[in-house]
């Protein structure tokens, strides 16, 4: 009974911190920052002050929580975009989500090694963790601004693809670093396998979801949504068991399923939206609290340098290359450039090194947390300023 009794003080603290973050959200948004920044701030402060028992939160439970949260986020991302809208911008989305993500990881690792003096393993881990972008922060900033819908679709689509690509790339990098028998070719084959099976799993999963929809036409909406979400977990887990990317499978399934579900029940699905809306800020706060005690002043400087290099140099060049054949206006290109915010996925990826007990774990987590926080502050505020000042006219 004592073990159960000890649970309630921790539950009280966690619930109070979540309420504090929710209360802080309007103030954060009023100064032009994305809402999830409030959860990250509360989590970091709680971690530094040791308000939460972060020493009891091992990396494996954190990653397991992250998997479920990311399934919800990616599935809702696919639903929110829809295949019809995605298809119109498929070229820029695929270019940014695949080639652009790989280029970001490669270039950031070069800067981390040659500019900051990171050894190659640390440089690769940090670079891959920082390669994906964040859909929730972007959506929070662009919500209701229909004049930027095209840019938002591209950013959401990019995030949907680059999250699974980055995760698969991180798995390959960790396997290469931790195993004395791994080769570059073997890691590349593993990456292609992950993504290929993930795509197959997503297409098959969408078919399963459509069959579920046909079988439950009169099921109460809440139960139907819960059945859909449970099926999404099955899709992701089954694909992962087959050594594919469950994250890509979940996103593709949501993308292909979106229009069919909208035709039957409308475009708004409260339960998937609510679960996704809760998952990302909770991950921000939880991971921020765990990583915060490991951050030093040097890590903050390194994170700031990598963020500014990415924000001022790499992201604009990659967006320019990937959108070179598109009809995007200068304003839309600027929004896509500023929209490359970092979020919960980089924080999750930073913990992958701990699963193999790599010696670079703490440094990776500290630098990635610093870079993510600075990205939200700098890019999030910049995106808000640009979209607010040009809200009435898109060039």
Sketch out the chain's domains with CATH numbers.
2-389 (1.20.1530.20)
Go through the chain and tell me how many residues it has: 395
Integer Cα distance of 305 and 116 in angstroms: 9
- What are the Cα distances from residue 167, in Å, to 87, 93, 136, 318, 322? 24, 18, 18, 20, 21
Residue 136 has what pLDDT? Answer: 65
* pLDDT at res. 262: 87
> Which portions of the chain are predicted below pLDDT 50?
392, 394-395
Q: CA quadruple 282, 286, 291, 297: dihedral positive or negative? A: positive
Quote the DSSP letter at residue 16. H
What pLDDT shows up at residue 395? Answer: 46
pLDDT of residue 55: 65
**Distance (Å, whole) CA 169 – CA 98:** 11
| Assessment of whether the complete model's pTM goes beyond 0.85 | yes
Per-residue pLDDT, 271: 86
User: Do residues 354 and 361 touch, judged by C-beta distance below 8 A?
Assistant: yes
Please give the pLDDT value at position 300: 96
């Amino acid at each position: 009974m004592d073990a159960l009794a000890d649970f309630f003080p921790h539950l009280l603290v966690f619930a109070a911190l979540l309420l504090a973050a929710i209360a802080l959200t309007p103030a954060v948004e009023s100064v032009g920052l994305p809402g999830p920044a409030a959860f990250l701030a509360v989590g970091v402060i709680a971690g530094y002050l040791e308000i939460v028992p972060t020493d009891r939160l091992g990396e494996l439970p954190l990653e397991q929580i992250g998997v479920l949260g990311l399934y919800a986020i990616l599935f809702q991302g696919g639903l929110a975009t829809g295949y019809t809208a995605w298809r119109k911008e498929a070229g820029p989305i695929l270019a940014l989500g695949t080639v652009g993500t790989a280029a970001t990881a490669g270039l950031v690792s070069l800067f981390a090694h040659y500019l900051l003096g990171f050894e190659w393993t640390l440089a690769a881990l940090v670079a891959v963790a920082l390669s994906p972008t964040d859909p929730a922060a972007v959506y929070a900033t662009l919500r209701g601004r229909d004049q930027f819908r095209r840019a938002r679709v591209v950013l959401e689509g990019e995030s949907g693809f680059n999250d699974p690509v980055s995760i698969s790339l991180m798995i390959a990098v960790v396997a290469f670093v931790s195993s004395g028998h791994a080769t570059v070719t073997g890691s590349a084959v593993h990456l292609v396998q992950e993504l290929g099976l993930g795509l197959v799993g997503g297409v098959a999963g969408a078919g399963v979801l459509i069959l579920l929809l046909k079988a439950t036409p009169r099921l109460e909406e809440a139960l139907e949504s819960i059945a859909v979400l449970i099926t999404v977990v099955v899709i992701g887990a089954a694909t992962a068991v087959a050594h594919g990317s469950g994250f890509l499978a979940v996103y593709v399934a949501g993308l292909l399923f979106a229009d069919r579900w909208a035709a039957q029940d409308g475009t708004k699905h409260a339960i998937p939206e609510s679960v996704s809306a809760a998952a990302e800020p909770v991950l921000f706060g939880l991971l921020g609290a765990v990583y915060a005690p490991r951050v030093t002043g040097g890590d903050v400087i390194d994170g700031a340098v990598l963020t500014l290099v990415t924000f001022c140099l790499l992201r604009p060049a990659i967006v320019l290359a990937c959108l070179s054949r598109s009809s995007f206006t200068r304003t839309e290109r600027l929004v896509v450039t500023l929209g490359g915010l970092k979020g919960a996925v980089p924080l999750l990826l930073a913990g992958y090194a701990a699963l193999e007990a790599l010696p670079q774990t703490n440094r990776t987590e500290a630098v990635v947390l610093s870079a993510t926080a600075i990205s939200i502050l700098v890019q999030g505020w910049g995106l808000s300023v640009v979209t607010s000042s040009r809200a009435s006219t898109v060039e």
